[in-house]
A and B are shown apart, each in its own frame.
Chain A
């Protein structure tokens, strides 16, 4: 018997007697003979130790020890030990959706604090209790804008992550939605193109700051134009950068989403991550996902509950604002703990440190012959460089020197085969940056 089953032979015998069947097979009589498995050919069970050994061997086959200069929306930040210690409490991670608020105040209060933290970070009015990840959050935002405006055209800035753009397209292929993308060439959003394409059929303009090339922008003017046409502005943001950067709230954005991985979540080969979403208070009832609200109990004490549930699938079924059932509570908690430990000053300092290190890297890299750091716009901790050789080949050679050197843009942008985005977080030391520069020079010119 495996260690997760507690019933003994005696227990089983007594239970079968109570039920009134002879044996366990008697409990499966509803499954007809012709419905039994045609095959169930699986390996025999193993001990915990054997499985741990096997999986540890698999872990060793991954090149996790490369020094990461790759970002693309997913960043190698330091995670304080207290984050993992706290989310490892069984009371948090082995609980489920807080359907019974009296015995789930821990999760509920944490989600309220998380929502509030996202709001102060983005300077928006209201946030939900999280969505799956940054990409699916952006798709939910697009659908939300369509619900709010009753329009079906979405204008998408070419600086939005190409991965997000692919997700949006595959989800909406059967829906009556017109997507228009405005081209971007490694700089800020193209105002002229957006002005040309926006009209009174546009439900939303989707923007990203910093964009996929690392360029920082102030989208206030584009957002004002969107509003003039009765369209909403959706802004996808990188939360750590908001320690310094102008907030989407200040710019006047209507819906804000983002990938919360950088807020204390490990890279985890792509998940689980955290999609956050915030909006203006007048749109709260059109927002998808769980929302936690503060109220009082029978004795007038402060407490927290899931609220506005009438928007959700378990009540509204096919008329719900989204099909989403779970949020990613534990990831939201993780982000909340991380933001709490950093605090107001810590976040600012962390953002500044990322900025300084990236600028130091730029200064070093542009000393290499033929390497051009793109300086058409200010950047945060990620920037685009032009290489005198094909970026794919360069990146491959850099792996041999122990670096994930960046993301070659040619994969998603035709004609940009010589371009690379490079990310530099607080974890990269001066020594690593200098060594990185040296290695790149060797790869290019030796």
Chain B
């Protein structure tokens, strides 16, 4: 398909600039002006609308396809939260208003949303206070680890390591490292839980804390988590909960009650703010009393009068982690969703998320290797190991699903399961859809058995077939204009091929 730049025709316009209504024509001295115009495309509004509409049709999405992408909680995104986020009272609100003198008066409605979210998330998770500032899950992790570091610093603890299970999201070790810690990886045991003996071996006074996803990335609730918390606390370590999988346990257990000191929530998972093709997200972080004074500033507080305000006066705070108060428009969507579901709705959510995952697991376990054959939480982790013996890998099965109009599950994560296929149906899908999915997966298994060769050139129904990823990295082309100038100059491979 053509790029928007290739549709550009000199003289076309997508919007008409307003006529100036001021009697001034200002000029910036030449030294400060750009020499050459940008090469942004010149297209009509219809050209643009047709281009981007056509692009949108080249995507699978929750609105159009079953999307059981494990670990991502691709549930339905209600439409009413979209219209609420576009209310002018929120959408046109300048973030510096509450920083004006007595400016809190100008943003009472927005501050109330943030304050209420804090209260609600505390009750859902058993934490004592939340910051809404982190702009994504990984950003929440970093914020959490920074508070962990501040805690140890305040106590004069000499800590060096953060312990992380080998099944963790890659963001966990990356966040720990960016905050200045070394990481120690702990293997999973044969039940998919953390190997507690290995943990005992590694625990010592230099351990700052443990980062663990609960329920785990293998879709398992580790009953030993309470005991693990005690062990970590015994060396004055901090228990960090990656709350990516909170959707499984709403009303069933709370990280705060399990011994966790700090956690993040992905609103785009559990609380259904749209994934946006890869963000924006929001990653509120909750802490218990122990870490409360280290929370980022500002914090939203409530006066006796009932008015809300931003408080910047916390001497031990880790400071600013974002420019403002978090990804407000997403937090607002999450707030609306939680209000609508209420207590029973939240419990139903986890009930059906877990029910759907277990149903798929039961129905598929004859056809795909189930690494841990036990009741699962919100997702089921299979392996394509049986199919791989015939040369059909997890990625091939993924491509087969695409041809059947279904977005594939997550493949090759967690890293601890070879050829992993991680299925998270979510609670918003019906049994009928799950049955269709199971049928397609069974077909894939049968085809792998009899005609493994047919997978190689799948998918066939999509606008493109499999891309050449090696070529993409070797002949890097990430900017249309640079590529054109390189081609014009007759250079073939202008970018360095190694780090």
Contacts and interface: CB of A to CB of B under 8 A. Distances in A.
A236 interface: no
A46 B346 CA distance: 12
B346 to A, nearest CB: 7
B14 to A, nearest CB: 3
Interface string B393-436: 00000110010000110100100000000000001111101000
B188 interface: no
Interface string B22-65: 11111011011111111111110100110111011111111111
B138 interface: yes
Interface stretch (A28-36, A178-186, A226-234, A367-375): A28-36
A76 interface: yes
Contacts, number: 709
Nearest to A363: B24
A94 B61 contact: yes
B281 interface: yes
Given A42-B120, A70-B97, A100-B408, A433 B22 contact: yes
A90 B329 contact: no
A412 to B, nearest CB: 9
B14 A298 contact: no
B247 interface: no
Nearest to B178: A323
A117 B278 CA distance: 19
Nearest to B473: A307
A418 to B, nearest CB: 14
B464 A101 contact: yes
A413 interface: no
Contacts of B76: 4
Nearest to A91: B56
A303 B464 contact: yes
Q: For this complex, into which size category does the number of interface residues on chain B fall? A: 35 or more
Given A38-B126, A245-B34, A293-B478, A170 B94 contact: no
Nearest to A281: B495
Interface stretch (A129-137, A190-198, A200-208, A435-443): A129-137
A323 B174 contact: yes
Given A285-B499, A307-B469, A109 B279 contact: no
B210 interface: no
In this complex, the member of B95, B221, B375 whose beta carbon has the largest number of chain A beta carbons within 10 angstroms is B95
A330 B280 contact: yes
B428 A5 contact: yes
Interface in A414-445: 426, 429-430, 433
Interface string A1-38: 11011110001101110111100101111111011111
Given A31-B223, A171-B146, A323-B141, A353 B18 contact: yes
B254 to A, nearest CB: 5
Contacts of A115: 478-479
B481 A120 contact: yes
B136 A268 contact: no
B110 interface: yes
A44 B109 CA distance: 22
B76 to A, nearest CB: 6
Contacts of B253: 31, 35-37
Contact of B40 (A6, A266, A296, A340): A340
Contact of B482 (A63, A119, A342): A119
B343 A40 contact: yes
B95 A267 contact: yes
B407 A103 contact: yes
In this complex, the member of A1, A312, A344 whose beta carbon has the largest number of chain B beta carbons within 10 angstroms is A344
B415 to A, nearest CB: 9
B82 interface: yes
Contacts of B52: 86, 89, 110, 333, 337
A270 B326 contact: yes
A61 B322 contact: no
B173 interface: yes
B112 interface: yes
In this complex, the member of B96, B253, B325 whose beta carbon has the largest number of chain A beta carbons within 10 angstroms is B96
B63 A353 contact: no
Interface stretch (B231-239, B269-277, B382-390): B269-277
A446 interface: no
A155 interface: no
Contacts of B171: 313-314, 323, 325
A316 B22 contact: no
A93 B251 contact: no
B90 A105 contact: no
Contacts of B88: 59, 64-65
B358 to A, nearest CB: 5
Interface string A315-353: 111111011111111110100010111111111111011
B64 A18 contact: no
Given A40-B123, A121-B40, A271-B324, A116 B5 contact: yes
B180 A174 contact: yes
Contact of A37 (B178, B251, B430): B251
A326 B17 contact: no
Interface residues of A, number: 215
Contacts of B407: 100, 103
B487 interface: no
Contacts of A24: 351, 354-355
Nearest to B361: A19
B112 to A, nearest CB: 6
B446 interface: no
Contacts of B58: 103-106, 109
B32 A378 contact: yes
A238 interface: no
B322 A167 contact: yes
In this complex, the member of A12, A66, A294, A347 whose beta carbon has the largest number of chain B beta carbons within 10 angstroms is A294
Contacts of A46: 339-340, 342
Nearest to A285: B499
Contacts of B272: 4
B14 A350 contact: no
B217 to A, nearest CB: 12
B238 to A, nearest CB: 14
A355 interface: yes
B8 to A, nearest CB: 8
B497 to A, nearest CB: 10
A167 B323 contact: yes
A64 B3 contact: no
Interface string A93-131: 111111111111111011011011101110101110110
Contact of A350 (B17, B336, B463): B17
B340 A48 contact: yes
A120 B39 CA distance: 6
A330 B48 contact: no
Contact of A246 (B34, B362, B433): B34
Contacts of A18: 359, 362-363
Contacts of B3: 109, 112-113, 116
Contact of A51 (B39, B80, B249, B475): B80
Interface string B77-91: 110101110111111
A54 B471 contact: no
A5 B63 contact: no
B496 interface: yes
Contact of A90 (B22, B61, B135, B280): B61
A95 B347 CA distance: 26
10 nearest CB pairs, A to B = A59-B89, A270-B324, A45-B342, A90-B63, A170-B319, A330-B276, A341-B14, A61-B109, A6-B430, A272-B280
20 contacts: A30-B377, A35-B225, A35-B226, A44-B342, A51-B80, A70-B97, A80-B14, A86-B49, A91-B64, A112-B478, A271-B135, A293-B473, A297-B468, A323-B177, A325-B138, A330-B277, A343-B42, A353-B20, A356-B26, A363-B24
Given A28-B354, A305-B472, A407-B96, 13 more contacts: A4-B272, A27-B358, A62-B89, A85-B49, A135-B323, A271-B323, A303-B467, A341-B15, A344-B38, A353-B18, A392-B101, A404-B94, A404-B100
